[in-house]
Amino acid sequence: MNLMVESNLFESVKKNLCSCSADLALDENIEALLKTPRREVSVAIPVRMDTGKIQVFQSFRVQYNDALGPMKGGIRYHPDETIDTIRGLAAIMTWKCALHDLPLGGAKGGVICNPKALSERELERLSRSYVQEMFPYIGPDRDIPAPDVYTDARVMAWMMDEYSRIAGKTIFGSFTGKPVLLGGSEGRGEATALGGWYAIREAMHRRERDFSGITVAVQGFGNVGAHAALLGQELFGARVVAVSDSRGAIYNPDGLAVRDLVEHKKKTGSVIRFPGATNIPGEEILTLPVDVLIPAALENTITSRNADQVRAAVVAEFANGPTSHEADEILFGSGITVLPDILVNAGGVIVSHFEMIQNFTMDHWDRNKVARKLEGKMVGSFKTVSDLAENNNVSLRKAAYTLAVGRVAGAMRLRGWA
C-alpha cells in the first residue's frame, strides 16, 4: 500500500468516483471532466503585520464543477493546507450539494497560515486581502464562500463587507455563515452537527437500535465536534464518553459533562486534564468500543493502517474526508456502518443554502423553521441513499456517490458539455 497516495485526499475522492462510474455507464469524456476541477486560482497575498513588516500568504480557490448551479464551499485557514486537499474538498462539496438536491456546485478555498499566531487586526487584513484577490471569481451568482476550519462568522462578516465595498453596494448573499445581524441564518453554527445527528438517528432506527443512551466518541473538539457532543448529549440523549483535540484525548466510560467540558477548554485551551476523566493518547479515541465514532477534525484520520482497529458500530463522518478509500473498504468488510461525509455532514451547506434564500428574498426564518427544514432534507436523503445501498448490497458511500455523481453527470449531458 502506497501511504503517500492514500493520504492524498483528492486521489481518494477520485477513487470513490471511479467505484461508481461503471455502474453509471459514464462515457470517458464525462468521467474525465468529473475528475478535473474547472478552475483553480492560486494567489500570494501580501499582508502588513502589526510590526510593520510584510508577510506573504499563499492562498487557493478551487472551483470544481458548476453544472447544477453556482459553486459553494468554505474557506479554511490552516498551516498545513495543500492544493490537493483543497481540490479534494471542492470535489466533496460538489457531490454533497448534488446528493442533497441543492442547486449548487462545489468549491473550496484555503490560506496557508497559522491563525492562532495572528492578531485580530492581522486576521482581518488577511481576510479582506483574500477577497480583494478573489473578487473577480466569486459572488452570489458565481461562487459563494462560507466558514470552514479556523474561520467563523466574524471572518465571513469581514469578507462580506470587503466584497460589498468593492462592489459599491451591500451584498449579503456574497457569503454565508455570517452573523445573524448581517444576514446570517439562525442555526448555522450548529447546522453540521445537528444534520449529522439526524442522520445518526436514522441509521440507528435502520439497525433497530434504541437511540437513547448510545455511547459516543468525538474525535476533534472544534466548532463541529463541540456541537456534536453537546447536541448528542442534550438533545439526543447520547452518552459522550470520549473527546479529543490536537493535544490529546479524554475518556470516561460513564460519560462526560459536555457543557462543563466546553468551559474547561475555553479556560485551558484543551480538553485534556478535565476533572473526572482519564487522559489518553489522541489516536486511541478511534479504537474505543463505542456505538458511534464521530471523526470531526481533519481528513485522513482513518486509513488502512488503523481501520482494522476501529471498534465502533457506526462511524459518522462529521469531518470531510476522514476515511480513506482503502479504509472504507476495510470497515465495510468488517460490518461497520460508515455514514459518509457527503451524506452526514451536509447540514452546514444545506443551512447555507437556506441563508442564501433568506438573503435573496430579504426574509428571516426562526431557528425552529430552519431545524425543521434541515431535518426534512437529511431524513429524505438518508432514506434514498440507504434504500439504494440495501437494494444493491453496497456501502452507503458507494450508494451516495452513485446518486450524486449521476445527478452531476446528467446535468452536464443536458448542458451539452460532453
The per-residue DSSP string of 315-358 comes to EE--SSS-B-HHHHHHHHHTT-EEE-HHHHTTHHHHHHHHHHHH
pLDDT at 373: 98
Question: Under a CB-based contact definition with an 8 Å cutoff, are residues 58 and 52 in contact?
Answer: no
Q: For residue 29, with 0-12 CB atoms within 10 Å meaning exposed, 13-18 middle and 19 or more buried, which class applies?
A: exposed
Output the DSSP codes for 353-376: HHHHHHHHHT----HHHHHHHHHH
Instruction: Of 286, 402, 325, give the one whose Cα is nearest residue 34.
Output: 402
Determine the pLDDT at residue 1.
46
Helix (H, G, I), strand (E, B) or coil at 302: strand
Strand order in the sheet with 248-251: 278-280, 248-251, 239-245, 215-219, 292-295, 314-316, 337-339
Series of mean pLDDT values for 10-residue runs along the chain (418 residues) = 66 85 85 94 97 97 97 96 94 97 97 96 98 97 95 97 98 97 96 96 84 90 94 94 95 96 95 95 95 92 93 95 91 94 96 97 97 97 96 94 95 92
CB 98 within 8 A of CB 407: yes
What the chain holds in terms of domains, given with CATH numbers, is 42-174 (3.40.50.10860), 191-343 (3.40.50.720)
Please give the distance of CA 339 from its chain centroid, rounded to a whole number. Answer: 13
pLDDT at 21: 75
- pLDDT tens per residue across span 68-121: 999 999 999 999 999 999 999 999 999 999 999 999 999 999 999 999 999 999
Q: Beta partners for 240?
A: 216
pLDDT in tens, 279-304: 999 999 999 999 999 999 988 899 99
In total, the chain counts a number of residues equal to 418
Which amino acids are annotated catalytic? 108
Q: Cell 488577511 belongs to which residue?
A: 126
pLDDT attached to residue 387: 96
C-beta separation of 354 from 370 below 8 A: yes
